A and B are shown apart, each in its own frame.
Chain A
Amino acid sequence: MVYWLLFRKSFSRNMQYRLSHLINNAASAIFGFVYIAIWSAVLTGKEQNSPFSIMDMTFYMGASQCILWMTVFLTAGLGIQLGVRNGSISLELARPTNYFFYITSQEAGRIGYNALFRSLPIGLIFTITVGFYIPAHLPTYGYTLLSVLLAVGISLNIFYLIGISSCWTTEISWAHFINLTLMFSLGGQMVPLTFLPGPLSLVAEWLPFAGVVYYPVMIFLEKASLSVLLIQAGWFLVLLLLNQWITFLARQKIEIQGG
């Protein structure tokens, strides 16, 4: 199957940069240690007023640093804007494949690589140094896997949406920058959403960004109900359909230009 082949090729291409990625993993772990230190300092002596203990926050930060590499640190616009600029998108859209799956299966290969060569080593660093949460209930592993897959699906769709928007805007660097900021802030990477001020916390829990980092981590830590999977699945389906429609519009626009 062509998408599986693209997945494997993308995975193999990333294998070329293993060494430099290992160095980057150390830096990612330092980011994690910095956040753990901040929360330890903030919560010392105040744990009774917090829904998270210091140990909980240590596990939260460790797990979120791991998942970032699968859901947030993706290729800007999935590289679609490059094809728009050099014109190669017209050829890619004309191929007898689904353009959305053609693009996302390549990025999925990179995500698979990141899971093995970035998330896993970072998780190991935290396991050795500060500890890593081990779910007490067996089904949690299955739910976490499902939640991570949905998180990857949501993220791929958001990045694709930004990339395909370049058919109209050409420039996507600021959209990418804004998206990353929203994923970091409203995704709960530094601050779990329950700590945000009241109304913002309430709104953030219903946005797709929560499904990218916060919910998978909370399910892994056994601190969220399974209903959050429905929020993730809902956003995944909405974004998937939206992208199919926008790809249809993009194809029409490109064909008109080429005619």
Chain B
Amino acid sequence: MKLYIKLVSASIRSRMQYKMNFIFSMVSYGVIMMIDFVLLAAILNRFGQIKGWNIYEVGILYAISSISLSLYRTLAPELHEFEKYIIEGEFDSLLIRPVSPLVLLLSKNLDLSRIGGILQGILILCLSLYGLSQEQELIYIAAYLPVILVCGCAISYSLALFTATLAFWTQRIKDFQTFTLYAPFNAANYPMNIYPGWLKMIFFTVIPVAFINYVPMLYLLQKGGSLYFLLLPIFVAALFFYVSLKFWNYGIQFYHSTGT
């Protein structure tokens, strides 16, 4: 952990050499990400609600999904770009060091521009909580939010690690990422009860994005479920993290250098 903090702080210092670029990219990223939600708000403003979920409730789902993904993109940009390590043979250089290649990948770089995504998520979350505070008690949601966000980040990271591992066989993973990260997280911005059965089955099992926000919020927003729904995200995040780590350790045995 000490080593990780040291490596990450070095990465932050190097990024801060270009402060204006950092601020501009962070703000632009946040503003641009927000346009999606503004469009959704325009629809809901006209039509009222979406299968029993009003704009503030959808806003909470949207914010949690958005913050979780942005946290992962901030902390693990090299894992996200892992295919370049395989295609260009850079993975060799990580294997010869006396530290786990996964720790090296995580500590090598931080994508601070993605903090803009986190900030826009926090802004939408605050606005949505404020809107809901007129109608119901929010103390339980506020208290449980840190747990939800940690679980959300862990699930995103696990899905990304699983996808990155595929590179040991397929080399390229960009197309898989659309399938395992972009499309599911886009879907997780909205309540799961709007999707047809087969899509719901995917989002509750193999790509478990429903547990990032929908499942705990069902209970916290008093839309159904039981206290047990608050424990499920922790269990699913731990299980998926363990499985993806095992898969990574298995996949790494199949790595072949490019010889370049």
Mutual binders A and B: yes
How distant is the Cα of A190 from the Cα of B36 in the complex, in angstroms?
9
Q: Does B157 contact A (CB under 8 A)?
A: no
**A181-B178 CB under 8 A given contacts A34-B195, A41-B50:** no
How distant is the Cα of A175 from the Cα of B194 in the complex, in angstroms?
34
Q: Is the CB of A34 within 8 A of B42?
A: no
Q: Is the CB of A42 within 8 A of B47?
A: yes
Q: Does A120 contact B (CB under 8 A)?
A: no
Residue among B36, B170, B187 having the largest count of chain A Cβ atoms under 10 Å: B187
B 28-42 binary contact with A (CB < 8 Å = 1; else 0): 110010011001001
Contacting A174 at CB < 8 Å: which of B28, B47, B186?
B28
**A24-B179 CB under 8 A given contacts A177-B28, A181-B32:** yes
Q: Is the CB of A20 within 8 A of B175?
A: yes
| Contact segment of A2-10, A95-103, A191-199, A224-232 | A191-199
Chain A's closest residue to B39 (CB) is A191
Within A171-197, the residues touching B (CB, 8 Å) are 174, 177-178, 181, 185, 190-191, 195-197
Q: Is the CB of A191 within 8 A of B43?
A: yes
A 32-72 binary contact with B (CB < 8 Å = 1; else 0): 01100110111110100110000000000000000000000
How distant is the Cα of A174 from the Cα of B27 in the complex, in angstroms?
11
Q: Is the CB of A195 within 8 A of B46?
A: yes
How distant is the Cα of A205 from the Cα of B109 in the complex, in angstroms?
42
How distant is the Cα of A190 from the Cα of B190 in the complex, in angstroms?
14
How distant is the Cα of A40 from the Cα of B174 in the complex, in angstroms?
30
How distant is the Cα of A191 from the Cα of B52 in the complex, in angstroms?
20
Q: Is the CB of A21 within 8 A of B42?
A: no
Q: Does B242 contact A (CB under 8 A)?
A: no
Q: Does B235 contact A (CB under 8 A)?
A: no
How distant is the Cα of A107 from the Cα of B62 in the complex, in angstroms?
35
Chain B's closest residue to A200 (CB) is B42
Q: Does A28 contact B (CB under 8 A)?
A: yes
SS class, residues of chain B in contact with chain A: helix
Question: Chain B's nearest CB lies how many Å from the CB of A184?
Answer: 8
Q: Is the CB of A195 within 8 A of B28?
A: no
Q: Does B94 contact A (CB under 8 A)?
A: no
Q: Is the CB of B39 within 8 A of A24?
A: no
Q: Does A27 contact B (CB under 8 A)?
A: yes
For B50, the chain A residues whose CB sits under 8 A away are 38, 41-42
Chain B contact residues (Cβ within 8 angstroms of A): what range?
20 to 34
Q: Does A31 contact B (CB under 8 A)?
A: yes
Q: Is the CB of A23 within 8 A of B176?
A: yes
For B176, the chain A residues whose CB sits under 8 A away are 23
For A134, the chain B residues whose CB sits under 8 A away are none
Chain B's closest residue to A196 (CB) is B42
**A34-B35 CB under 8 A given contacts A41-B194, A195-B43, A196-B42:** no
Q: Does B199 contact A (CB under 8 A)?
A: yes
How distant is the Cα of A27 from the Cα of B175 in the complex, in angstroms?
8
B 199-211 binary contact with A (CB < 8 Å = 1; else 0): 1000000000000
Q: Does A246 contact B (CB under 8 A)?
A: no
For A191, the chain B residues whose CB sits under 8 A away are 39, 42-43
For B179, the chain A residues whose CB sits under 8 A away are 23-24, 26-27, 30
**A42-B43 CB under 8 A given contacts A20-B175, A23-B176, A34-B195:** yes
For B184, the chain A residues whose CB sits under 8 A away are 30
For A38, the chain B residues whose CB sits under 8 A away are 43, 50, 190, 194
Question: Chain B's nearest CB lies how many Å from the CB of A95?
Answer: 30
Q: Is the CB of B190 within 8 A of A34?
A: yes
Chain B's closest residue to A185 (CB) is B35
For A50, the chain B residues whose CB sits under 8 A away are 47
What 6 additional pairs, Cβ within 8 angstroms, besides A23-B175, A24-B179, A195-B42?
A27-B175, A27-B178, A27-B179, A34-B195, A40-B194, A41-B51
6 residue pairs from A and B, CB less than 8 Å apart: A27-B182, A30-B199, A38-B50, A41-B50, A46-B47, A174-B25
